[in-house]
Amino acid sequence: MEPTISIITPGYQQVAYLPVCLASVRDQAYSSVEHIVVDGGSTDGSKEFIAEHADQLTWWCSEKDRGQSHAINKGLEHATGSVFGWINSDDLLLPGSLKFVGEQFSADPELLILTGRRLFRDEEGKDTSSPLNDATDRDALFIAPHINQQSTFFRMDAVRAVGGVDEELHYVMDLELWWQLLFTFGPEHVRSVDQVLAVFRLHGESKTGRGTLPFRMETAWILRNMAMQLGMHVLVEALSTGYPTGHSVRAMPLREEHHTIVERMIIHFLLKGHSTIHEREEFEMMRLFISEWKVDPSFLSAEERDELVSLKEQLKAPNWLAFRIKRKLQFRKA
């Protein structure tokens, strides 16, 4: 028996993309699908368009909300499916995707997360394929996951068990939900499939088009909260130095045996995003990290070891002023 798949579409002021998004769900060769559209009170004609196509939808609304995460959770309140995914109003599913997803979940009762590839489509219509997780590398699923959100589907019971998505997050709610499920149920319930399931549009009005800083900030808040839960005070202080403000994100279901993997997650985040220093807060954060936290080299990939060497060389400067002077002299020589 095929499982019912609940697709939730949050959106705001994106009427130009809604026709393709709704049609991509409507035209799936899959009978057991319910589509829920949660519009944030758009004034661009979205409400009228959704109302005209209400017969295609299980439930919809157009009213002010507290952002995308709140909209997703509102949709979950009306969802009855056993499998869940969300497609933003400016994205779309590819033909046959839900039939494939339904077959995967039907065949494996232990499957909690199914993730495939997605296409990145730029404003000129050019497509590039996303990376894909190696589900056999279970550490990497924690440390450096590829969250192909539009092509990732979840067992609904598991999503409800962790409380949906965190409404305090507006950029990395998908990453936080991924980590919640992995820490709760374990990475052995994740499957990656080398199949393109959806399209992620890249355009100037999208969140991704606004730059990476908000994504890094919210990720830092989540990691800092995990470090706090496990008593990693130096890492808490370092992340607070680089990202001094932030909302109160929800706790992760961590146990003492998660200490090592969380440490590796934080080290990866710091080295990947901050091995080259640009700002004063970054300098102070990484200086504190290097001077106060002993990094086990066995934790690191070859790339991370190179990044660590580069970072230590930069941090030989005794303070921010000396660092800036040294950097200016290097630029002049170059």
Q: What is the DSSP letter of 251?
A: P
Query: Is residue 97 within 8 Å of residue 85, measured between CB atoms?
Result: no
Residue 116 in this model has a pLDDT that exceeds 70 = yes
pLDDT digits (tens, 9 = 90+) for 69-95: 999 999 999 999 999 999 999 999 999
Helix 280-292 and helix 233-242, axial crossing angle in degrees, nearest 10: 170
12 pLDDT band (50/70/90 cuts)? very high
Residue 225: enclosing H or E segment and its boundaries?
Answer: helix 213-229
Query: Is residue 72 within 8 Å of residue 165, measured between CB atoms?
Result: yes
**Token pair recorded at residue 180:** 């919640």
pLDDT digits (tens, 9 = 90+) for 96-115: 999 999 999 999 999 999 99
The pLDDT value given to residue 333? 64
Question: CA nearest 24: which of 87, 103, 74, 83?
Answer: 87
Which burial class, exposed, middle or buried, applies to 84 when counting CB atoms under 10 A from its CB (0-12, 13-18, 19+)? buried
Domains annotated for the chain, with CATH where assigned, are 5-209 (3.90.550.10), 212-333 (no CATH)
DSSP states of 104-117 as a string? HHHH-TT--EEEEE
The pLDDT value given to residue 298? 87
**pTM for this one?**
0.95
d(CA 111, CA 75): 23
* Mean pLDDT, rounded, for 150-166: 98
**Token pair recorded at residue 40:** 């944030």
End-to-end CA distance of the chain: 66
- DSSP SS3 for 65: coil
Angle formed at CA 187 by CA 192 and CA 228, multiple of 5 degrees: 130
Query: Is residue 251 within 8 Å of residue 225, measured between CB atoms?
Result: yes
